[in-house]
Each structure stands twice: as structure tokens, then as C-alpha cells.
């Protein structure tokens, strides 16, 4: 079956530094990747999505590039802010008919930004 | 815009008790989901429903029942609460058969004594 791996459980950074949150996936079928962000006591919400190989997608200062050759979709930001402190989930949907409505989530990475 | 409302926000139960969580959405989405969120384990799919009266099992359906009597609502029942269980249950909705986003509710936090 499909799987998503996020290797870091917790990333702690000082404001203004760059960040990269890792996401790798496994699927037999053509993938569609998502990043969701969940702030404390809030609902998860979509941050980025992509199914296009080697094309950078950006939103709210965050960016990610789907690399099918390495099965990766790492999330990056050049300068983190205090408000970026949250839980970040990478998720995978495969394009096989019948699985279209199912997302597989990674374990999540908590980003803590310090002053 | 729309909203997903989950009730209750907090649920405290006893071991062995049957507990029901409710979810309402006004997006007019056909597909609804129930996910369980445990610390360090991400979100795991319990049940989803492609349309009214449809039910599909997810990876974590054992120990749960679900009900979708109408398009706007989706209920989840914990059939027998496990002692010391603690988790957040998230309801979500989306347009079916698309790569559109999932819209999530704020969750129901379950604690079992």
C-alpha cells in the first residue's frame, strides 16, 4: 500500500532561518502530493499541492518541488516566522481509480520557531 | 465559504461505552471523511463516504461504525471505548474524484477513563 514518511518529529529553529521539512513517499501509481498545516487548536488546512514532476509550487512563502525520481516532496521556506510554528503533514493520493478519495498522511513534523 | 462543525468538542467516556461523534458541513460536498489523529502517528482514515448513504472502510475501521443519512452530516460511533484511550477525531469533506483539498473540522478530543 501507499506510505508517507516524515523523518523529523520536531524541528526547532530561530526566527529568520531557513527550514526544510522532509517528505518521501511510496506508491505504485502516479502520485499527487499535499502539505497540510495545523496550528494549535485549529483545523488542518491545505498549504501546497502538486502532481507535476520537477515543478516548484509556492504558497505563503513556503515552497515544494515534487521529484518523482527520488519520491520526495520536501517543504521549504527561506525565512521562518514565529507564526509558522505549527504541525505540518505531508499527504499522498494516488491516481488509481477507486483510490481517488483516499489520502495517506505522514506522521507529521512539529515546527517550533523561537524568537 | 463553508464550515465543518464537529460536536462535541470534548468527549469523556468510560471503558466499554458506546460513543457517538457528529459532523455537519455546509459546503454541499459529496464526500466526507473521519480521521483519527494520534500524537506521532499522523492522521489515519477510519471511514469515508462518497455520497449520501454510502460507507467505505478506511485503514482503521475496526472498532468503529459510521452513518451518513444525509449529504450534510456524517456520524462516527466508537463501539466500545478502550481504557486510557486518548485521540482527536477529525471530520473532513471534499469534492469527490478530484484533487481538490480536504476541508477539516476542528476535531473532537476523546478521553476514556
Q: What is the mean pLDDT of residues B90-109?
A: 87
Task: Give pLDDT, residue A99.
Answer: 57
Residue in B43, B58, B99 nearest the CB of A51: B99
Is a pLDDT exceeding 90 seen at residue B85? no
Q: Where are the domains of chain A?
A: 3-114
Question: pLDDT class for A23, splitting at 50, 70, 90?
Answer: very high
Task: Kindly tell me if the per-residue pLDDT of B23 is higher than 70.
Answer: yes
Pick the CATH number of A3-114 from 2.60.40.10, 3.20.20.370, 2.40.50.140, 3.60.150.10: 2.60.40.10
The answer to whether the peptide bond before residue A46 is cis (omega within 30 degrees of 0) is no
* C-alpha cell recorded at residue A58: 509556492
Q: Which pLDDT band holds residue A33 (cuts at 50, 70, 90)?
A: very high
Q: Which of A69, A82, A92 is nearest to A6 (CA)?
A: A92
**Which of A34, A43, A90 to mutate: most B Cβ within 10 Å?**
A43
Question: Looking at the predicted structure, is the pLDDT value of residue A30 above 60?
Answer: yes
Q: What is the pLDDT of residue A100?
A: 61
Distances (CA, A) of A19 to A88, A103, B56, B68: 12, 25, 38, 41
Please indicate whether residue A96 or residue A61 has the higher confidence score (pLDDT).
Answer: A61
* Domain total of chain B: 1
Which residue among B33, B99, B106 sits closest to A93, beta carbon to beta carbon? B99
Mean of pLDDT over chain A: 93
Partner-chain contact A43 B106, CB within 8 Å? yes
Report yes or no: A108 at the B interface, CB cutoff 8 Å: yes
Nearest residue to B31 (alpha-carbon basis) of B48, B43, B14, B56: B48
Q: Give me the mean pLDDT over the A4-23 stretch.
A: 97
Please report where in the chains the cell 518523482 appears, as a residue. A68
- For the cut 80, the answer to whether the pLDDT of residue A97 exceeds it is no
How far is the C-alpha of B53 from the C-alpha of B51, rounded, in Å?
Answer: 6
How do B10-13 and B108-112 pair as beta strands?
A: parallel
Kindly tell me the sign of the dihedral angle through the C-alpha atoms of B57, B61, B63, B69: negative
CATH number at residue B54: 2.60.40.10
* Whole-number pLDDT of residue A25: 97
For residue A1, what is the nearest residue in chain B, using CA coordinates? B59
Cα B36 to Cα A60, A99, B59: the distances in Å are 27, 19, 11
pLDDT tens for residues B28-84?
Answer: 999 999 999 998 778 999 999 988 999 999 989 999 999 998 999 999 999 999 988
Residue A45: other Cβ atoms inside 10 A: 14
Mean pLDDT of all residues in B6-21: 95
> What would the mean pLDDT of B20-33 be, rounded to a whole number?
94
Q: In chain A, which residues have their Cβ closer than 8 Å to the Cβ of B104? A: 43-45
Which domain, by its residues, includes B26? 4-112
Amino acid at each position: 500500500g501507499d506510505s508517507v514518511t516524515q523523518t523529523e518529529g520536531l524541528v526547532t529553529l530561530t526566527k529568520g532561518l531557513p527550514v526544510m521539512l522532509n517528505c518521501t513517499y511510496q506508491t505504485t501509481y502516479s502520485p499527487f502530493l499535499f502539505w497540510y498545516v495545523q496550528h494549535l487548536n485549529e483545523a488542518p488546512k491545505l498549504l501546497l499541492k502538486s502532481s507535476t514532476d520537477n515543478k516548484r509550487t509556492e504558497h505563503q512563502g513556503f515552497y515544494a518541488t515534487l521529484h518523482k525520481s527520488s519520491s520526495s516532496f520536501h517543504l521549504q521556506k527561506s525565512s521562518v516566522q514565529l507564526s509558522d510554528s505549527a504541525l505540518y503533514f505531508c499527504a499522498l493520493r494516488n491516481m488509481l481509480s477507486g483510490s481517488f478519495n483516499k489520502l495517506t498522511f505522514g506522521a507529521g513534523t512539529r515546527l517550533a520557531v523561537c524568537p | 465559504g463553508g464550515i465543518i462543525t464537529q460536536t462535541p468538542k470534548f468527549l469523556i467516556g468510560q471503558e466499554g461505552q458506546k460513543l457517538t461523534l457528529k459532523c455537519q458541513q455546509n459546503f454541499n460536498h459529496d464526500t466526507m471523511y473521519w480521521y483519527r489523529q494520534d500524537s506521532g502517528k499522523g492522521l489515519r482514515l477510519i471511514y469515508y463516504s462518497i455520497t449520501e448513504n454510502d460507507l467505505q472502510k478506511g485503514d482503521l475501521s475496526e472498532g468503529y461504525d459510521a452513518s451518513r443519512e444525509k449529504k450534510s452530516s456524517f456520524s462516527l460511533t466508537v463501539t466500545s471505548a478502550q481504557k486510557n484511550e486518548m485521540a482527536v477525531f477529525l471530520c473532513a469533506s471534499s469534492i469527490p474524484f478530484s484533487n481538490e483539498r480536504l476541508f477539516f473540522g476542528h476535531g473532537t478530543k476523546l478521553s476514556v477513563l
